[in-house]
Amino acid sequence: MALLTTYGSGNRVILNDKTVTYSKTRIYGAWSYVSGVSIITLGSVWEYHRFCSKTYSYVGMDRATAQSCA
């Protein structure tokens, strides 16, 4: 069997499937906005983050194909 000269879903190996984590932090300060004719001022707000990761590699390629894949 010869080495592959292409890379794609056929020679992809998933090492760690999708992992999703979340974080929530309260930030204190002064934020204002206009609502109708009133000015609303907030003393704190929430900051949300979503992190997603997945690890995979491609196998079985010749050197030139591996270099172009990288």
Q: How many residues does the chain have?
A: 70
Which pLDDT score is estimated for 53? 97
Which pLDDT score is estimated for 32? 95
Residue type at 53 in one-letter notation: S
Of the pLDDT bands very low, low, confident and very high (cuts 50, 70, 90), residue 24 is very high
Unique residue bearing structure tokens 């390629």: 61
Q: What average pLDDT does this structure show over 1-28? A: 92
Which pLDDT score is estimated for 6? 87
Model confidence at 1: pLDDT above 80: no
- Inter-CA distances, 11 with 5, 16, 55, 56, 70, Å: 11, 16, 14, 10, 14
Output the CA torsion 5→9→10→15 (10° steps): 100
Percent of the chain with pLDDT over 70: 99
